[in-house]
Every structure is written in structure tokens, then in C-alpha cells.
Amino acid sequence: MAGSETHYTLPRPSFDEAPKLLIVVAPYYKDIADQLVAGAKAEIEAAGGSWDLAEVPGALEVPTAIGMADRANEFDGYVALGCVIRGETTHYDTVCNDSSRAIQLLGLQGLCIGNGILTVENRDQAVARAYVDQMNKGGGAAAAALHLIALGRQWRRDGKEIGFKA
């Protein structure tokens, strides 16, 4: 059972200049989303960062909103949050796969994104993963974004640019 395993967690990164992140959440399951957001906010604030929040209709819209925000160039990183619970149709597979793939493609373009979109079989699994006093996957997604921001800043200081040159 995954809940009884122990996992190594990287130490929280520190920053000379406070990072600014955008939390993009699909609040389809509002109670779950609220817990994910609470965890993400707490982790960002603990690292000395600031955040803005954007809500979108569903998990498929999360990567689109991140892409739009990145073009505005105001954020150092992004936290993608939401919850997809398996239903009776294959729509679950489409939403899970396509939202994850789109976030991964944005990451490969150089965006610092922590993916906290839960993909679960039932509500109990969602609660266990979302709630701050349980698995706190929102906090984990924010931590992932913060680590990527820190890496990007470290490598840029070495005179190297990140990503492709036009």
C-alpha cells in the first residue's frame, strides 16, 4: 500500500529573489480543489514566494491557461491543480492523458510547472491525496514548481540560457 511507504523529499529550495507563481485550478470538485490550493499556497509562502490564483472550468483547460499566462511573462512558475475521478465512460482517460501531456509539453518548452492534477478511481482516493493533513499533493505540486524555478535560476547564473533559441 502506497500510504505506508516512505519517500525522500528534497529540502525546500531557497531564493535570493522571491518567486512568483500562478496556481491554476479546475474546481470541478470544489472541496478537493480547495484543499489542493491550500497546500500549494502554504508551500509557496513557506519558500518566501507569492502567488496568484486562476480558476478554469476543467482539467483540460489548465494547460491552456498556463500557456496564456506564460505569454504575459509575469510568473516564474506554475502549479496545475484539479481532480479527475474515474466515471463510467472513457472521458476519464482522455482528460487524464491530454491534460498531463499538454502540461508535459509546456514543461519541455521551459516552463516550471508542478502537476497536481489528481487522477483517481474514487472520491476516497481524492480526499486522501488532496487534504493538507494527509498526502498534500497540492503542496507537493508547488514544491515541484519551486524546485524547477530554483534549477532554472541556478543554471541561468552560470551563463547558460534555458530552452531553444529562435
Residue 34 lies in a domain: yes
91, 101, 123, 156: the catalytic one is 91
Percent of the chain with pLDDT over 90: 88
Let me know if 91 is a catalytic residue.
yes
Please provide the size of the chain in residues.
166
Percent of the chain surpassing pLDDT 70: 92
Residue 165 domain flag: no
Residue 40 lies in a domain: yes
Strands laid side by side in the 50-55 sheet: 50-55, 20-25, 77-85, 113-120
* Alpha helices (H) along 29-122: 30-46, 62-72, 91-108
Structurally, how many domains does the chain consist of?
A: 1
Predicted TM-score (pTM) of the model is 0.91
Q: Which domain holds residue 128?
A: 18-157
Residue 121 reports pLDDT greater than 70:
yes
Residue 108 lies in a domain: yes
Each residue's pLDDT tens digit, 9-59: 999 999 999 999 999 999 999 999 999 999 999 999 999 999 999 999 999
Q: Is the residue at 11 inside a domain?
A: no
Backbone angles phi, psi at 58, to 5 degrees: -155, 175
13 part of a folded domain: no
| pLDDT surpasses 60 at 96 | yes
Domain of residue 125, CATH code: 3.40.50.960
